[in-house]
Structure 1
């Protein structure tokens, strides 16, 4: 993709995220194009239909979260990387729960994008869990899916009381730690 086309694509995705947050998945596409400072033709060249745009927004958010896991793994010890990623994952769910739920509901559950995003999150969690287990930072009976379910559950449960999320994450992390006999 040319640099200008890449910039347009990213601008459209960012504006669409805002529009979907404000108006749900039925936000007018022409309004998104106008707010992104592109013509409707440019929007439709990148995203032939509404579902393609919804999937792009969802995929971009998941990519950001999974890329963050890799960054943390490179710059922190495995246990610290996992703990920080869980904190960021829960924060992401708290901040974007309504949008993510709306986008997931508007997406075809059998779509390649949905399957890809699920795989990307699972792979990131697996890398974090295995690395932390290998150094004895967390219990051996923890599965990547457990980590994702707990983080998502805390984020979802904290929607109406976001100050609870950090405290609940710390309780979760204490429960993940390997207990010395």
Structure 2
């Protein structure tokens, strides 16, 4: 939905020698006001995103113990810049999980809003989430990781709501079999988007997308088989991984 446009209204001229409180301030003067938070510079935002994307890729390849020097190299920055944004490994891991979760949530919402039908939206979301390396999150949720951090809880809740809405839309339209839950989808996605063990495997992304499409075809309604057990919810996954 387009945002409503607004028409700027010129402020009346200030009296001579008076201070124009509506006049634009420099970034430095705004930041110096009591309680004001300076907006990050564009290059700082780009550096932060490059670091998070590079760290996610390094964690996929080497695990969460990946050398931070390697993260900096992949991001194309110096170590000092990395540590300025993320002072230690735990902070970096925290923000990589948050970064990936938020991007996957946005993908679920955009897929449902933009695709012609709910099954096409489900396929688009699943392949996009695989490209976001969501399968790399699971190994990072190890001992010492603060799963109960308010930021992460809010992000996880938003992701669960987006995925459940996406799946429910397909089921209500009669396009997705009714005997699966969001947990089933996320288990398959996390397993199939992880790299295969060992270093001899190459071009695993193409295999991941092939097998994800096979899985998605198995979700089409009407169902051609009866699944054992019951549909897995995201709450089931949370309880089993605590």
Q: CA deviation at 1:32?
A: 4.3
2:208 and 2:55 map into 1 onto residues whose CA distance is 30
Query: Which residue of structure 2 aligns with residue 173 of structure 1?
Result: 217
Query: Which residue of structure 2 aligns with residue 61 of structure 1?
Result: 100
Structure 1 counterpart SS, 2:141: helix
Query: Which residue of structure 2 aligns with residue 118 of structure 1?
Result: 156
Cα 1:112–1:50, aligned 2, differ >3 Å: closer, same or farther? farther
Whether 2:152 is the aligned partner of 1:152: answer: no
2:53 and 2:124 map into 1 onto residues whose CA distance is 25
Query: Which residue of structure 1 aligns with residue 141 of structure 2?
Result: 104
Contact 2:170 2:176 in 1 (8 A): yes
Contact 2:134 2:190 in 1 (8 A): no
Query: Which residue of structure 2 aligns with residue 132 of structure 1?
Result: 170
Q: CA deviation at 1:164?
A: 7.1
Ranges in structure 1 where 5+ consecutive residues have no aligned partner = none
- TM-score norm. by structure 1 comes to 0.71
2:87 and 2:149 map into 1 onto residues whose CA distance is 15
Q: Once structures 1 and 2 are overlaid, which stretch shifts more, 109-118 or 141-150? A: 109-118
2:178 and 2:70 map into 1 onto residues whose CA distance is 50
1:69 and 1:37 map into 2 onto residues whose CA distance is 31
Structure with higher Rg: it is 2
Cα 1:7–1:102, aligned 2, differ >3 Å: closer, same or farther? same
Cα 1:81–1:53, aligned 2, differ >3 Å: closer, same or farther? same
Query: Which residue of structure 1 aligns with residue 88 of structure 2?
Result: 49
Contact 2:98 2:155 in 1 (8 A): yes
Please give the root-mean-square deviation of Cα atoms over the aligned residues, in Å. 3.5
Ranges in structure 2 where 5+ consecutive residues have no aligned partner = 1-39, 225-242
1:151 and 1:28 map into 2 onto residues whose CA distance is 27
- TM-score norm. by structure 2 comes to 0.56
Cα 1:50–1:125, aligned 2, differ >3 Å: closer, same or farther? same
Cα 1:150–1:176, aligned 2, differ >3 Å: closer, same or farther? farther
2:177 and 2:70 map into 1 onto residues whose CA distance is 50
Greater relative contact order: 1 or 2 (C-alpha under 8 angstroms, separation 6 or more)? 1
